[in-house]
């Protein structure tokens, strides 16, 4: 409960849940946001790191875990962290863009480079219809270059919470779209070059509903179950995913998009490539 930005990720054959723990999370006694990983099988958490950082994402590259996040909502920087054991972390600055407000990030490998999608909320001439995904690239995960203005998705509508993957020469971008009724559902688009995008005809790929409230955590008490039952739900956001044991595992947040959020999971019976291609069948 009350977790939003999470990500399923496989590291050295073990399934973890990366958690971006907000400062108001009930289990957070530090009064500051931080990152951590939770071993899904044992439910054991790694030591917290990246104190003061929000809106994180994770990537495994050559047996090393990388994490990216901002030093606060709307900061003009993205910080990167890396570790070989999930205990000792090193960090450096990935992006610093004067005058820009940055939020969620997502990073994937794309051939011989890495691509970061990062959410921009301001200035208006960059973000357009707030929020918008811009992109950066790196050869070594340390030195990043923001791609030109035409590499964007999209200034025409609300498109928040980017999750980017590169599969079979396509970039797939899952993002959150809003409607005029203050409702939020995830959609997907794809591109060969990060400039020319094709939206899926099946959008949205998920819709919020009562099934989000199904309780799978046996450890929740009666009060927590009542809170879930009575919660306002108009949102499926912050979707992230990975392939594990022949399935696509999906984490997402549901709630009122106003501070009352809950973590949920979904599955797709197939590979990541099959999942993405199914979204674009004629």
pLDDT tens for each residue of 245-256 = 999 999 999 999
Is 180's pLDDT higher than 90? Answer: no
Q: Which contiguous run of DSSP H or E holds residue 274?
A: helix 272-278
- Higher pLDDT among residues 141 and 25, named by residue: 141
Q: Flag whether 184 is in a domain.
A: yes
The whole domain housing 184 covers 6-278
What total of structural domains would you count in the chain? 1
Structure token digits, residue 141: 């995960």
Q: Flag whether 246 is in a domain.
A: yes
- Higher pLDDT among residues 138 and 1, named by residue: 138
pLDDT score, position 53: 98
Listed residue (207, 271, 214, 194) closest to 239, CA to CA: 207
Listed residue (235, 242, 244) closest to 263, CA to CA: 235
Q: Flag whether 198 is in a domain.
A: yes
pLDDT score, position 1: 75
pLDDT band at 2 (very low <50, low <70, confident <90, very high): confident
Q: What is the mean pLDDT of residues 66-87?
A: 98
pLDDT score, position 25: 84
Task: Tell me the average pLDDT of the chain.
Answer: 97
Residues, the chain = 282
| CATH code at position 170 | 2.115.10.20
Q: What is the mean pLDDT of residues 115-142?
A: 98
Is the Cα torsion angle 71, 74, 75, 79 positive or negative in sign? Answer: positive
pLDDT score, position 26: 82
Give backbone dihedrals phi and psi of 275, rounded to 5 degrees, phi first: -60, -50
Rg value, the chain, Cα: 18
pLDDT score, position 227: 95
Q: Flag whether 1 is in a domain.
A: no
- % of residues, the chain, pLDDT over 70: 100
Q: Flag whether 28 is in a domain.
A: yes
Residue 125 DSSP SS3 = helix
Instruction: Give Cβ neighbours of residue 61 (< 8 Å, ≥ 6 apart).
Output: 109, 114, 141
Integer Cα distance of 237 and 206 in angstroms: 9
> pLDDT tens digits for 12-47?
999 999 999 998 888 888 989 999 999 999 999 999
Is the Cα torsion angle 184, 185, 189, 194 positive or negative in sign? Answer: positive
Residue 250 contacts residue 271 (beta carbons within 8 Å): no
Q: Flag whether 69 is in a domain.
A: yes
């Amino acid at each position: 409960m009350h977790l939003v930005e999470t990500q399923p990720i496989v590291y050295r054959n073990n399934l973890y849940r990366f958690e971006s723990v907000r400062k108001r999370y009930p289990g957070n006694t530090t009064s500051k946001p931080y990152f951590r990983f939770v071993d899904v099988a044992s439910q054991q958490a790694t030591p917290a790191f990246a104190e003061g950082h929000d809106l994180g994402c994770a990537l495994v590259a050559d047996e090393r875990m990388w994490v990216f996040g901002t030093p606060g909502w709307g900061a003009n920087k993205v910080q990167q962290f890396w570790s070989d054991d999930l205990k000792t972390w090193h960090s450096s600055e990935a992006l610093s863009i004067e005058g820009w407000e940055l939020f969620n990030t997502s990073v994937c490998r794309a051939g011989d480079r890495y691509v970061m999608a990062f959410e921009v909320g301001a200035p208006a001439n960059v973000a357009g219809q707030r929020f918008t995904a811009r992109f950066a690239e790196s050869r070594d995960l340390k030195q990043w270059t923001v791609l030109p203005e035409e590499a964007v998705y999209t200034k025409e509508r609300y498109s928040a919470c980017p999750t980017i993957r590169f599969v079979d020469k396509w970039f797939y971008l899952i993002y959150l779209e809003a409607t005029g009724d203050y409702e939020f559902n995830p959609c997907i688009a794809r591109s060969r070059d990060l400039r020319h995008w094709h939206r899926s005809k099946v959008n949205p790929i998920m819709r919020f509903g009562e099934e989000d409230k199904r309780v799978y955590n046996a450890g929740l008490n009666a009060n927590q179950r009542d809170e879930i039952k009575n919660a306002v739900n108009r949102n499926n956001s912050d979707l992230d995913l990975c392939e594990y044991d022949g399935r696509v595992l999906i984490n997402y947040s549901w709630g009122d998009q106003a501070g009352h959020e809950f973590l949920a999971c979904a599955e797709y019976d197939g590979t990541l490539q099959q999942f993405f291609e199914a979204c674009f069948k004629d």
